[in-house]
């Protein structure tokens, strides 16, 4: 679980940095990179939620 939190946090920070670089430079490549990073952040968050749900379901099985 610690690894998922670390990955989620780093992806979120990377997305924020990419959008900050887009705002600073105006280069659309940074915007596209930020969108891709945020997409993977959402996927990592969903994976973390799935792990939590599966951990809670194991005593019931």
DSSP symbols for the chain? -HHHHHHHHHHHHHHHHHHHHHHHH--HHHHHHHHHHHHHHHHHHHHHHHHHHHHHHGGG-
- The confidence score (pLDDT) of residue 47 equals 87
Share of the chain above pLDDT 90, in %: 67
pLDDT tens, residue by residue, 7-31: 889 999 999 999 999 999 999 999 9
The answer on pLDDT for 1 being more than 80 is no
């Amino acid at each position: 679980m610690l690894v998922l939190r670390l990955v989620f946090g780093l992806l979120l920070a990377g997305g924020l940095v990419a959008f900050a670089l887009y705002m600073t430079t105006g280069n659309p490549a940074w915007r596209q990179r930020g969108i891709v990073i945020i997409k993977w952040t959402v996927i990592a968050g969903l994976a973390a939620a799935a792990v939590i749900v599966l951990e809670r379901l194991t005593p019931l099985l």
